[in-house]
Structure 1
Amino acid sequence: MAGEHEHRDVSGGWLRAAVFGATDGLVTNSSLIAGVGGGGGAHHTIVLTGMAGLVAGAFSMATGEYISVTTQNEAIHAEVANEKAALAQDPVGEIAELADTYIARGVSPATAKAFATELAASPKDALHVHVQEELGVDAQKLPGAWTAAISSFLSFSLGALLPLLPYLLGLSSLPVALAVSAIALMAAGALAALLTGRSPIQSGLRQLLLGALAVGATYLIGHLLGAHV
């Protein structure tokens, strides 16, 4: 149909959790490996540190996502309940409130009041619109807590595994591990562009720069401490 167009998903569902989970895994384990490697850690020490970082980080990310999404959804549901009660107790006042919202956006008073009054005839639709206008969310399309948690767990694990792969394959080479991390960070940044609409190249370079800062800082600290411990 003419005039129709699609939007990217900005609701914060599984894709957001997956992209940022993978990025966190990459940056966290790349930094851990760089810090231990910079301090002169042996092959088995780096592998042990990397695996511990992968498991601990994955569970931490999943737990954080679950609690965050659950808390947000519970808060929204509580506000929806409050709005439902307000519509039942003071329908006239709520009609006037919704009409005022549209009037403030440039709709004529007569049209805004007529729309708000007609909408009130359907309690379900009225609640849906009032919640959208007053809370700025669609309560019918909230992200799933378990979906976000599982997505975050798996993506963090994958991201954290990549810089560790060379060591798991028997290569005791920090430069190789960091090169793998750099390529993966570029790819993760490009993937994040799907959410933001930015240039994949710009997003990838930005992600690489931020990751390099974290890796460089932990390498320097590991190198300095390793020389005195």
Structure 2
Amino acid sequence: MDHSHRDIAGGWLRPAVFGAMDGLVSNFALIAGVAGSNASARTIAITGLAGLAGGAFSMAAGEYTSVASQAELAQAEVEVERRELVRAPEAELRELAELYIARGLDEELAYEVATQLSRDPDQALEIHAREELGVDPHDLPSPWLAAGSSFLAFAIGAVLPLLPYLLGAVELWPALVLTMVGLFAAGAVVSRVTGRPWWFGGSRQLLLGGAAGGLTYLLGMAIGHGIG
């Protein structure tokens, strides 16, 4: 029976999910901390805007550097395999055959399979990269995709707790309600991709985000009273 799988190697899911959750939690925690110090609504709004911009650019830069470094390392190792296939093809063929033997093929069949697969240099390189390095040289993650999805996701998440202040709110509770709804919804949506129950994903994000915001609010109160 035919079946399909969710995309687990496209390079977009992790930075997008991490970016949205981080945007929601970090910007709400920042806003809550400043609100706890009895700052004005204007100050809170400016702080939230700064948190949105700074966090989004920081996330994008971090994701780009991380994914680009990973891709460059993989490409460097693929080039090592390419040179070895030219320099010592018999040794590489034997190495591939031994991999198949270790997986249960008879020795004669393993060498026959390895020999046939090694006839095309490009195919041989791809197979060695997958078997030995665990990467597909033609499908490495894109650093630009990771950076862009992370930037957009963080900005979308970070604008939710900020939105009430931009619309004229002067108290924290509208931002709290909107953030909690956003956290639960985001966790529930992610569970559709990961296969976990929607209520589990939503509740987990709600609990973690609420704890971060509450602790930061208390810290803001303590600092505000200390300075005052």
Q: TM-score range by the shorter chain?
A: over 0.9
Matched, 1:8 2:1: no
Structure 1 CA distance for aligned equivalents of residues 198 and 215 of structure 2 = 26
> Residue 134 of structure 1 aligns to a residue in which SS?
helix
Structure 2 CA distance for aligned equivalents of residues 224 and 207 of structure 1 = 26
Question: How far off is 1:16 after superposition?
Answer: 2.6
Question: How far off is 1:12 after superposition?
Answer: 4.8
Structure 2 CA distance for aligned equivalents of residues 41 and 131 of structure 1 = 56
**Mean alpha-carbon deviation: is it higher for 11-20 or for 130-139?**
11-20
Instruction: Give the aligned partner of residue 175 of structure 1.
Output: 173
Q: Which runs of 5+ in 2 are unaligned?
A: none
Give the alignment of 1:86-165 within 5 angstroms: 86-165=84-163
In the superposition, relative to structure 1, how do residues 201 and 125 fare at CA in structure 2: closer, same or farther (>3 Å)?
same
CA contact (8 A) 1:16 1:195 kept: no
CA contact (8 A) 1:10 1:195 kept: no
Question: How far off is 1:202 after superposition?
Answer: 0.8
Matched, 1:44 2:30: no
Instruction: Give the aligned partner of residue 60 of structure 1.
Output: 58
Which TM-score applies when normalising by structure 1? Answer: 0.95
- 1:68-87, Cα deviation, whole Å (9 max, x unpaired): 11111111110000000111
> Residue 189 of structure 1 aligns to a residue in which SS?
helix
In the superposition, relative to structure 1, how do residues 40 and 12 fare at CA in structure 2: closer, same or farther (>3 Å)?
farther
Task: Tell me the amino acid that sits aligned with residue 33 of structure 1.
Answer: I
Which TM-score applies when normalising by structure 2? Answer: 0.95
> Residue 143 of structure 1 aligns to a residue in which SS?
coil
Question: Percent of aligned positions with the same letter in both sequences?
Answer: 53
Give the alignment of 1:27-42 within 5 angstroms: 27-42=25-40
**Mean alpha-carbon deviation: is it higher for 108-117 or for 44-53?**
108-117
Task: Tell me the amino acid that sits aligned with residue 226 of structure 2.
Answer: H
> Residue 119 of structure 2 aligns to a residue in which SS?
coil
Task: Tell me the amino acid that sits aligned with residue 99 of structure 2.
Answer: T
> Residue 228 of structure 1 aligns to a residue in which SS?
helix
Question: How far off is 1:39 after superposition?
Answer: 1.4
Question: How far off is 1:192 after superposition?
Answer: 2.0
Q: Which runs of 5+ in 1 are unaligned?
A: none
Instruction: Give the aligned partner of residue 23 of structure 1.
Output: 21
Instruction: Give the aligned partner of residue 185 of structure 2.
Output: 187
- What's the RMSD between the two structures over aligned residues? 1.2
Structure 2 CA distance for aligned equivalents of residues 99 and 80 of structure 1 = 19
In the superposition, relative to structure 1, how do residues 137 and 194 fare at CA in structure 2: closer, same or farther (>3 Å)?
farther
Structure 2 CA distance for aligned equivalents of residues 184 and 222 of structure 1 = 23
> Residue 39 of structure 2 aligns to a residue in which SS?
coil
